Amino acid sequence: MAHLDQLREYLLKLDEVALLELLDISSEEIVDRFEDFILARKEELEAEVEIMDSSVEDDELEELNFD
């Protein structure tokens, strides 16, 4: 079990992008696993999406159905 602790410590030192690449985790997997976090911050995330990309068409925003 000690080697698992060492591996965990190494992984904790990586930046988030490097960790996701190393573990081969996709955006879809993140969204699926953290849906509760997304729902808890729904209004904030919707506002952020509008601010970040005002070029997104209304029909594309409808695809972000959080309900």
Domain boundaries of the chain, sorted by first residue: 1-25, 34-67
Q: How many CA atoms lie within 13 A of 29 on its CB side?
A: 6
Q: pTM, whole model, 2 decimals?
A: 0.61
CB 49 within 8 A of CB 64: yes
CA distance linking residue 24 with residue 12, whole number of Å: 16
pLDDT tens column, 24-63: 999 999 999 999 999 999 999 988 888 776 655 555 555 6
CB 19 within 8 A of CB 46: no
The closest of 36, 50, 34, 52 to 61, measured between CA atoms, is 50
Q: Which residue has tokens 């690449």?
A: 21
What pLDDT score does 56 carry? 55
pLDDT tens column, 2-15: 899 999 999 999 99
